Amino acid sequence: MSQRYFEDIAPDEELEPLERLPTEDQAVEFFGRDNPTNPAFGDAEAGRRMGFGGALVPGLLKLSWIANYVGAWAGPGANLRSVRVAFRRPDIAGKPLTLAGRVVDKRREDGRNVVELEVVTLADGQPSVRGNVQVELPSRP
């Protein structure tokens, strides 16, 4: 993992897309098989019976992937300041998701180097999660 530096970042810079394939086991095991909130999170067959087509991918799992995606892009000397997301539609395990993002702003704020990113998870080219992440990057030595 390489380090990104504030001076090297430009607005509208695209993050390299990353494809993830959530499996039914990942989706089910994330919350556990006895999830009381929605049977489709704990049982792929229940998800099919409910009309989803399989086990639902938990939003918190996708949120963790977004945080890891940005963290890997930023590098080990970076700090995630904030992560805000909106869940737009459900995703079904077994279907690929693409994480993508772009830099929307960079600024000095209270002596810190802040980079703001828009991130998204895409399924079949359609956004299922949209987010805004602020990351603090170091200056070039």
pLDDT, one tens digit per residue, over 52-70 is 888 889 888 999 999 999 9
Q: Which two tokens stand for residue 49?
A: 């019976």
Query: Which residue segment(s) compose the domain that 82 sits in?
Result: 1-22+57-141
Q: What is the share, in percent, of the chain residues with pLDDT greater than 70? A: 94
Q: Residues 2, 42: one domain?
A: no
Query: Could you give the CA distance from residue 73 to residue 5 in angstroms, rounded to a whole number?
Result: 11
Same domain, 28 and 80: no
Say yes or no: 110 and 92 in one domain.
yes
**Chain-centre distance for alpha carbon 12:** 18
Instruction: For residues 135 and 80, state if they share a domain.
Output: yes
Which of 33, 56, 79 corresponds to the end of one domain?
Answer: 56
Both 71 and 89 in one domain: the answer is yes
In this structure, the answer to whether residues 91 and 121 fall within a common structural domain is yes
Average pLDDT over residues 102-107: 98
- Residue 8: pLDDT band with limits 50, 70, 90: very high
Measure the CA–CA gap between 97 and 106, rounded to whole angstroms.
Answer: 27
3-state secondary structure of 117: strand
- My answer on whether 39 and 67 are in the same domain is no
Greatest alpha-carbon span in the chain: 57
**In terms of domains, do 73 and 44 share one?**
no
Q: Are residues 30 and 63 in the same domain?
A: no
Q: For the chain, what is the radius of gyration of the CA atoms?
A: 17
Cα separation, 83 vs 134, in Å, equals 7
Q: Which one is predicted more confidently, 38 or 99?
A: 99
Listed in sequence order, the residues at least 6 apart from 32 whose beta carbon sits closer than 8 Å to its beta carbon are 42
Residue whose pair of structure tokens reads 């539609």 in the numeric block: 89
Asked if residue 141 and residue 120 are part of one domain, the reply reads: yes
1 or 120, higher pLDDT: 120
96 and 141 share a domain? yes
The predicted structure's pLDDT at residue 136: 98
Q: What is the rounded CA–CA span in Å between residue 25 and residue 42?
A: 9
Same domain, 117 and 63: yes
Q: Give yes or no for a contact between 88 and 128, defined as CB atoms under 8 angstroms apart.
A: yes
- If one counts the domains in the chain, the total is 2
